[in-house]
C-alpha cells in the first residue's frame, strides 16, 4: 500500500493570476476526479489532500478564499472516504480564516492543518494559541511549507520561511506535532529537524530539486545538495532516519508523478524502510 502525504486539489489562483505555469507546462490546477485517476494509475491507495497555496490579499471580494476552497474540498472528498483525507489550509494573519479551519477540524475530526507560509507571507514564529491548542488536543500535525529563502518578495520584507523559523517553532512547542514539507529544502539544519521527536519530514518536490537547488547555496546541507533524489533518500535512511520521513508528491507541481514516486522505489534501501516511508509513518503521524 502507498500513501501520498502531500497533494494539492483545486486551483492555484496565485499562479493563474500571475501566469505562472507548472514545471510540466500546465496551469496549476487539478480537480479531485483528475487526481483519483492519477492515483489509480500509480496504485496509490490513500492521499492527504489540501488546497493550493492562495494569498487572501489578492482577491478583493473573495476574501475568504481558503474558506471557500476548504469547504468545497471537504465536500468533494466525502465521496472518497478512507481514501482521501482532506486537511484545511488557513491564513494565520486572518482570524476568520483560522476560526473556519479550526471549526472544520473539530467538527469532522480532520487529520491535520496546512500552513503555506509563502503566499501569506508569514514567518512561522508564534502561532495563535487557539491553533496550537487545537493541534495539541486533537493530536494532529501542522504541515508547514518550507521555503529556501530565495523568495524575492519575502527577502524584500525580511521574512524567512526556511527551515530555521520552523525549527524554532517546533522546539518551543514540544507538545505539538509538525510535518515540515519538501525535506526542509535540504537546509543545513535538516538533521536537527530529523532529530526532533515532534517533527516528521515529507519528501514532496524532491524530483525537481534541480530547479531550486542553485539558490542561496550557503543554506544547504553540503552532504546532500549535489546528490540525486535516490541518493538523498538512501543517505537519510543510512543515517538512521527511516522513521522520520514520509513520502509526498506535491502533485500536480512536479514534472511527473511517476518520477516523484520512483526516487523512493529505486533507492537502495530495505523493503521495510520503503514501507515505512511510503505507508507506515504516514499512518502513524496522521492517524489514518
- Closest CB to Zn ion among residues 249, 267: 249
Cell output for 167: 525549527
With contact defined as beta carbons under 8 Å apart, do 279 and 1 qualify?
Answer: yes
CB closer to Zn ion, 69 vs 269: 69
Site residues for Zn ion per CB under 5 A: 250
Instruction: State in angstroms the smallest separation of the CB of 176 from Zn ion.
Output: 20
Tell me the C-alpha distance between 219 and 161, whole Å. Answer: 12
Give the contacts of 167 (CB within 8 A, at least 6 positions apart): 189, 192, 193, 196
Q: How far is the CB of 181 from Zn ion (least distance, A)?
A: 6
Q: Which is nearer to Zn ion, 4 or 242 (CB)?
A: 4
For Zn ion, the closer CB: 149 or 250 = 250
Q: Considering the complex, what minimum distance in angstroms separates the CB of residue 7 from Zn ion?
A: 8
Nearest-CB residue for Zn ion = 250
Helix (H) or strand (E) holding 210: helix 209-212
The Cα–Cα gap between 62 and 258 comes to: 35
Nearest approach in angstroms of CB 250 to Zn ion is 4
Cα distances from 232 to residues 221, 229, 278, in angstroms, run 11, 5, 15
Amino acid at each position: 500500500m502507498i500513501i501520498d502525504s502531500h497533494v494539492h486539489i483545486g486551483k492555484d489562483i496565485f499562479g493563474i493570476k500571475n501566469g505562472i505555469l507548472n514545471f510540466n507546462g500546465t496551469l496549476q490546477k487539478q480537480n479531485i476526479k483528475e487526481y483519483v485517476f492519477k492515483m489509480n494509475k500509480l496504485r496509490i491507495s490513500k492521499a492527504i489532500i489540501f488546497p493550493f497555496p492562495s494569498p487572501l490579499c489578492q482577491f478583493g471580494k473573495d476574501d475568504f478564499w481558503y474558506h471557500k476552497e476548504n469547504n468545497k474540498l471537504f465536500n468533494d472528498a466525502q465521496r472518497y472516504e478512507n481514501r482521501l483525507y482532506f486537511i484545511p489550509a488557513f491564513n494565520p494573519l486572518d482570524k476568520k480564516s483560522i476560526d473556519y479551519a479550526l471549526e472544520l477540524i473539530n467538527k469532522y475530526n480532520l487529520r491535520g492543518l496546512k500552513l503555506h507560509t509563502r503566499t501569506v507571507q508569514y514567518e512561522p514564529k508564534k502561532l495563535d494559541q487557539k491553533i496550537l491548542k487545537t493541534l495539541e488536543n486533537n493530536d494532529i500535525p501542522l504541515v508547514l511549507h518550507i521555503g529556501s529563502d530565495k523568495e524575492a518578495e519575502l527577502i524584500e520584507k525580511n521574512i524567512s520561511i526556511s527551515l530555521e523559523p520552523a525549527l524554532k517553532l517546533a522546539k518551543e512547542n514540544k507538545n505539538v506535532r509538525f510535518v515540515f514539507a519538501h525535506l526542509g529544502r535540504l537546509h543545513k539544519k535538516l538533521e536537527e529537524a530529523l532529530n526532533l521527536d515532534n517533527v516528521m519530514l515529507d519528501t514532496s518536490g524532491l524530483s525537481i530539486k534541480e530547479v531550486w537547488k542553485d539558490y542561496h547555496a550557503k543554506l544547504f546541507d553540503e552532504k546532500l545538495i549535489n546528490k540525486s533524489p535516490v541518493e538523498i533518500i538512501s543517505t537519510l535512511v543510512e543515517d538512521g532516519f527511516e522513521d522520520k520521513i514520509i513520502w509526498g508528491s506535491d502533485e500536480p507541481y512536479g514534472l511527473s508523478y511517476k518520477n516523484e514516486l520512483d526516487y523512493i522505489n529505486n533507492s537502495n534501501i530495505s523493503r521495510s524502510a520503503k514501507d515505512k516511508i511510503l505507508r507506515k509513518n504516514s499512518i502513524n503521524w496522521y492517524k489514518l
